[in-house]
Structure 1
Amino acid sequence: MQRPMEGVRVLEVAQFTFVPAAGAVLADWGADVIKIEHAERGDAQRGLVRVLGYEAASEGSSFFPIMEGPNRGKRSVGLALERPAARPVLEKLIRESDVFLTNFLPDARAKLRIDVDDVRTINPDIIYVRGSGFGVHGEESGKGGYDSTAFWARGGSAAGVTPPDADRMTRMPAGAYGDSMGGMTIAGGVAAALYSRAMTGRPSVVDVSLIGVGAWATQFTVNLALMNGGPLPVAARPRHGSATNPLIGAYRTADGRWIELSMLQPGRYWAEFCTLAGRDDLAADERFDSTDKVMANAAEAADLVAELIASRPFAEWTRILARGDGQWAAVQNSWEVGQDPALRANGLIAPVVDADGVERELVASPVQFDGSAPGLTRAPQFAEHTDDVLRELGLSDEELLSLKIDGAAT
Structure 2
Amino acid sequence: MRSSEKNTHKDIDKRPLAGIRVLDMTRVFSGPWGTQILGDLGADVIKIEQPGRGDDQRRLGPPFLLDRSGQKTSESSYYLSVNRNKRSVALDIKTLEGQEAIKKLAEKSDVFIENFKVGNLAKYGLDYENLASINPRIIYCSISGFGQTGPRSQQMGYDTAIQAMCGVMSVTGKPDEEQGGEPLKVGLVLSDMMAGTYAAMAIQAALYARDTREDALGQYIDISMFDAQLAAMSHQASHYLVSGQIPGRFGNGAPSVSPSNAFRCMDGKIVIVAGNDDQFRRLCNVLDLLELVEDERYLSNSMRVVNRHSLHKIIEDKLRINTKTYWLKILEEAHLVAAPINTLDEALADPQAHAREIVRHVEHISGGTVPLVTSPMRLSRTPLDRYAAPPTCGQHTAEVLEELLGISR
TM bucket (normalised to shorter chain) is 0.7 to 0.9
Separation of aligned partners in 2, 1:215 and 1:84: 39
Q: Say which of 310, 314, 318 aligns to 1:308.
A: 318
Counterpart of 1:189, as a letter, is A
1:97 aligned to 2:109?
Answer: yes
Q: How many equivalent pairs are there?
A: 382
Deviation at residue 141 of structure 1 after TM alignment: 1.4
Separation of aligned partners in 2, 1:30 and 1:78: 22
1:187-266 correspondence to structure 2 within 5 Å = 187-200=200-213, 201-229=216-244, 232=246, 234=248, 247-256=259-268, 258-265=269-276
Separation of aligned partners in 1, 2:320 and 2:384: 39
Separation of aligned partners in 2, 1:209 and 1:143: 11
Deviation at residue 22 of structure 1 after TM alignment: 0.9
1:124 aligned to 2:136?
Answer: yes
Q: Say which of 54, 62, 73 aligns to 1:42.
A: 54
The one-character-per-residue Cα deviations of 1:366-403 (angstroms, maximum 9, x if unpaired) are: 22211845431110001111111111134444xx3xxx
1:5-154 correspondence to structure 2 within 5 Å = 5-50=17-62, 55-58=63-66, 60-62=71-73, 64-150=76-162, 152-154=163-165
Separation of aligned partners in 2, 1:190 and 1:44: 24
Q: 1:33 to 1:225 in 2, by over 3 A?
A: same
Alignment check: 8 A CA contact 2:206 2:218 kept: yes
Separation of aligned partners in 2, 1:144 and 1:246: 40
Deviation at residue 2 of structure 1 after TM alignment: 4.2
Separation of aligned partners in 2, 1:185 and 1:243: 26
Q: 1:245 to 1:368 in 2, by over 3 A?
A: closer
Deviation at residue 244 of structure 1 after TM alignment: 9.2
Q: Say which of 322, 338, 363 aligns to 1:328.
A: 338
Alignment check: 8 A CA contact 1:49 1:57 kept: no
Q: 1:240 to 1:271 in 2, by over 3 A?
A: farther
Moved more, 91-100 or 205-214: 205-214
TM-score by length of 2: 0.84
**Where does structure 2 lack aligned partners over 5 or more consecutive residues?**
1-12
- Equivalent residue, structure 2, for 1:354: 364
Deviation at residue 271 of structure 1 after TM alignment: 4.0
Q: 1:373 to 1:348 in 2, by over 3 A?
A: farther
Q: 1:269 to 1:49 in 2, by over 3 A?
A: closer
Deviation at residue 198 of structure 1 after TM alignment: 0.7
Separation of aligned partners in 2, 1:245 and 1:101: 41
Counterpart of 2:78, as a letter, is I
Deviation at residue 194 of structure 1 after TM alignment: 0.8
- Equivalent residue, structure 2, for 1:179: 192
Separation of aligned partners in 2, 1:79 and 1:305: 61
Alignment check: 8 A CA contact 1:24 1:73 kept: yes
Q: 1:108 to 1:233 in 2, by over 3 A?
A: closer
Alignment check: 8 A CA contact 2:279 2:336 kept: yes
1:393 aligned to 2:404?
Answer: yes
**Where does structure 1 lack aligned partners over 5 or more consecutive residues?**
401-410
Moved more, 374-383 or 355-364: 355-364
Percent of pairs identical after alignment? Answer: 27
The one-character-per-residue Cα deviations of 1:304-354 (angstroms, maximum 9, x if unpaired) are: 210122222222222222112222332222222322333332233333333
Alignment check: 8 A CA contact 2:36 2:86 kept: yes
Instruction: Let me know the Cα RMSD of the aligned residues.
Output: 2.7
Counterpart of 2:202, as a letter, is G
